[in-house]
Amino acid sequence: MVSADKNIFNPKSEVARRMIEYGETFGELHIIVLSDVTQKLVAGSLSKKVFMYPTNTQHRLLCVLSAIKIGKKILSNIYFGQTAITVQDPFEPAFVGLALRQKTKYPHQIQLQPDLNNKNFLDSTI
Residue ranges of the domains in the chain? 2-125
Among 22-26, 86-90, 118-122, where is mean pLDDT lowest? 118-122
* d(C-alpha 18, C-alpha 114), whole Å: 18
| Nearby residues of 87 by Cβ (< 8 Å), 6 or more positions away | 1, 2, 3, 93, 94, 96, 97, 108, 109, 110, 111
Q: In the prediction, which pLDDT does 125 show?
A: 45
pTM over 0.75: yes
User: What digits encode the pLDDT tens for the residues 45-61?
Assistant: 999 999 999 999 998 78
* CB-based contact 1:88 (threshold 8 Å): yes
* d(C-alpha 118, C-alpha 116), whole Å: 6
> Which comes out higher in pLDDT, residue 32 or 78?
32
Burial 32-68 (b: 16+ CB within 10 A, else e): bbbbbeeeebeeeebeebbbbbbbbbeeeeebbebbb
User: What digits encode the pLDDT tens for the residues 12-37?
Assistant: 999 999 999 999 999 999 999 999 99
